[in-house]
Structure 1
Amino acid sequence: MFQAFRPFFLIAETSLHPGSGSEIGVVDLPIQREKHTGFPKIEGSGIKGCMREAFERSERAVKIGNDDVKIKEWVKLVFGPTNGDEHAGCLAFTDARILFFPVKSLKGIFAWVTCPMVLERFKEDMEIAGVDMRNFPSIKKRTCPPDSKIFVKENENNKVSVILEEFTFELARDEETKKLACWFASRIFPQKETDTSYNFWRKKLEKDLIILENDDFEHFVTTSTEIVARTIIDDAKGTAKNLWYEEYLPPDTILYSTAMASPLRVREKDEKGPFEGSSSQDEAKRVIEYFEKGVPTIIQIGGNQTVGKGITRIQVLK
């Protein structure tokens, strides 16, 4: 049973291809999607594999309790051995769910869109992970922050018109949506005195977050992903000998997942090393501490690593 949790955000810095295999249709290699909603996702097993690779390559050391721990030396114990019948790992990951999806806007370049279903899911998932959500702002559909500048027309009753892709939406300016945008912006792009790289993106999220209807959001995450044609060139003839189409989540897509830790799966104390605790819950907390301190800022997720795809920034929710 999992006894410690740590949610984190995944921000796509480049196009992301969490592939679902080949398919008969216009898109040969689509991305992973939930069966009942059609929303994009990344399987938890894929996230765990990418995390394991990153931890195995790490040369860093972190402090767990009173011990200095080299990250890569404890991958087998935490993530599980390659030979699975020895013992199970004690760190798992939920599927990464979509949170904010970037959509082209006639003004402001693009807006991040979401919907009540996605936000209610996020709230529920955070409560399961032990995050205090009592002060989470209220969720109102067809709204945007009052200071957003992506509208093309001001209407009556404090409403504005925005154009996303080829569609026009009338949105209400709402203070609660502003609070919600600021709540996320401060956690996804936290303020750092020594690093101002994400100041622009924090301010943009604070202003350019739009809460759409559930059906409208589903339309965009289904039809506004990137479809890329790829081919292999015959060197001798100089002609294409193969052509296929791949689907990608666009850059600036934001998802979230949760790392979950259970007590260690080994019994001998000398095998537990720095993770040995006074109780099973203490052991799980040490595993989560290992994850939180060891996770790199940037990892590669999904396919097509050699063509620069899948570069993803990780932001742990404190």
Structure 2
Amino acid sequence: MYKTAKLMWIYTEHPVHAGAGTGVGAIDLPIQREAVTGWPIIQASGLKGCLREHFEFLAVKKGDTVGQQKIVEAFGHNAAEHGGALAFADAKMLIFPVRSMRGTFAYVTCPLALQRLKRELESIEQSGGQNLALGLDLETDRPTEEHIWVASGKNNTVDSDLTIAANQSHLVGLEELSFTAEPKSIVETLGDWLEKNAGSLPWLKNGPLHTRLAVVSDNHFKDFVEMSTEVVTRNRIDDATKTVAKGMLWTEEHLPRECVLYAAVFASDPFVASSARQCADATAVMNFFANDAEYTPKRVWLGGDVTVGRGLVHLAFA
């Protein structure tokens, strides 16, 4: 039984290729996506693997046998003698960066993404984790297809770096789409909550975070995460002919820089005898994973193509 839990934030500083194998569509090597929503995810097995690699590298580098035992207790025994005390959920999309006519790009989310985050926060609290209540009412009001929610200032005015004044209204241009800006206090509330609970992430902002945040409809968010990922064409050159080798031209999909994902991490007591443990209980396991000054990662390399600059992500815990 899991006795404590934390929320792990993942911020993509480099494009990330969490691959789904060979594709059957226009993209040869697509990224992982949910079957129901079509939104990008990073599967838990990939998260666990890259994190374990980070911990093991540090333990070997330090010659830390105690740390190596803690890693076995937290992540599991390689010989399958026992499982790990940590359990990881898939990393889910919360904020997707979208090109903007004003402000360069916007941190975009939608009501469905926020509802799913609220549900994840409830599961963390029910598993012994901190109460990170989001405090947003998403049941009674949602942006229409023509509108985009931005932060509201004094007297319900627009407080956003993304808007363009037009006659009596404000517009926001994202990719090839134009939206009418609607000031909403919920955007400022979300920005304040993120700065409190994910403030160590490398946000790109000139002032308060809410000035770059925007909430669109679920349908538009789905379009953005499906159509606005990075797709690159790669090849391999034949050394003899100095031309593209036969069959060595392919396309790869990546999560772009500045995405924000989250994953719940749960901890139980280690599955070894109490007398042999280096981590006494679930709390000690979680502290080793998320709060250890020597081991807890700030950045890790995640997914494929790391030798060509893909996969650097920034981590934070709440």
* Match in the other structure for 2:284: 286
RMSD: 2.2
Partner Cα distance (2:203, 2:267) in 1: 32
Aligned in 2, Cα 1:202/1:258: closer, same or farther, shift over 3 Å?
Answer: farther
Partner Cα distance (1:172, 1:96) in 2: 30
Aligned in 2, Cα 1:49/1:123: closer, same or farther, shift over 3 Å?
Answer: same
Task: Give the C-alpha shift of residue 199 in structure 1.
Answer: 7.1
Q: Is the 8 A contact 2:134 2:193 kept in 1?
A: no
Task: Give the C-alpha shift of residue 47 in structure 1.
Answer: 0.3
Is 1:81–2:77 an aligned residue pair?
A: yes
Q: Is the 8 A contact 1:149 1:207 kept in 2?
A: yes
* Match in the other structure for 2:174: 164
Q: Is the 8 A contact 2:32 2:42 kept in 1?
A: yes
Aligned in 2, Cα 1:134/1:255: closer, same or farther, shift over 3 Å?
Answer: closer
Task: Give the C-alpha shift of residue 77 in structure 1.
Answer: 1.8
Q: Is the 8 A contact 1:138 1:180 kept in 2?
A: no
SS at match of 1:218: helix
SS at match of 1:129: helix
* Match in the other structure for 2:155: none
Task: Give the C-alpha shift of residue 189 in structure 1.
Answer: 2.6
SS at match of 1:26: coil
Aligned in 2, Cα 1:134/1:47: closer, same or farther, shift over 3 Å?
Answer: closer
Residue by residue over 1:36-80, the C-alpha shift from the partner in whole angstroms, topping out at 9 and shown as x without a partner, is: 10010000111000110001012599xxxxxx9953442112100
Provide TM-score, normalisation by structure 1: 0.87
Residue by residue over 1:229-266, the C-alpha shift from the partner in whole angstroms, topping out at 9 and shown as x without a partner, is: 01000111110011000000000010001111112112
Aligned-pair identity (%): 34
Is 1:254–2:257 an aligned residue pair?
A: no
SS at match of 1:245: strand
Aligned in 2, Cα 1:225/1:198: closer, same or farther, shift over 3 Å?
Answer: closer
Provide TM-score, normalisation by structure 2: 0.87
State the AA in 2 paired with 1:19.
Answer: G
After alignment, is 227-236 or 178-187 more displaced?
Answer: 178-187
Structure 1 residues not aligned, in runs of 5+ = 62-67, 191-196, 277-282
Residue by residue over 1:56-112, the C-alpha shift from the partner in whole angstroms, topping out at 9 and shown as x without a partner, is: 012599xxxxxx99534421121001122x111111110000010000001110001
Task: Give the C-alpha shift of residue 269 in structure 1.
Answer: 2.8
Partner Cα distance (1:254, 1:296) in 2: 17
SS at match of 1:247: strand
Q: How many residues align?
A: 294
Partner Cα distance (2:55, 2:68) in 1: 6
SS at match of 1:203: coil
Task: Give the C-alpha shift of residue 149 in structure 1.
Answer: 2.1
Match of 1:265 among 246, 268, 271: 271
Partner Cα distance (2:175, 2:255) in 1: 16
Task: Give the C-alpha shift of residue 198 in structure 1.
Answer: 4.3
Q: Is the 8 A contact 2:56 2:68 kept in 1?
A: yes
Residue by residue over 1:112-155, the C-alpha shift from the partner in whole angstroms, topping out at 9 and shown as x without a partner, is: 11100000100110111014355623345331113102112345
* Match in the other structure for 2:212: 208
Q: Is the 8 A contact 2:16 2:310 kept in 1?
A: yes
* Match in the other structure for 2:11: 11
Is 1:40–2:33 an aligned residue pair?
A: no
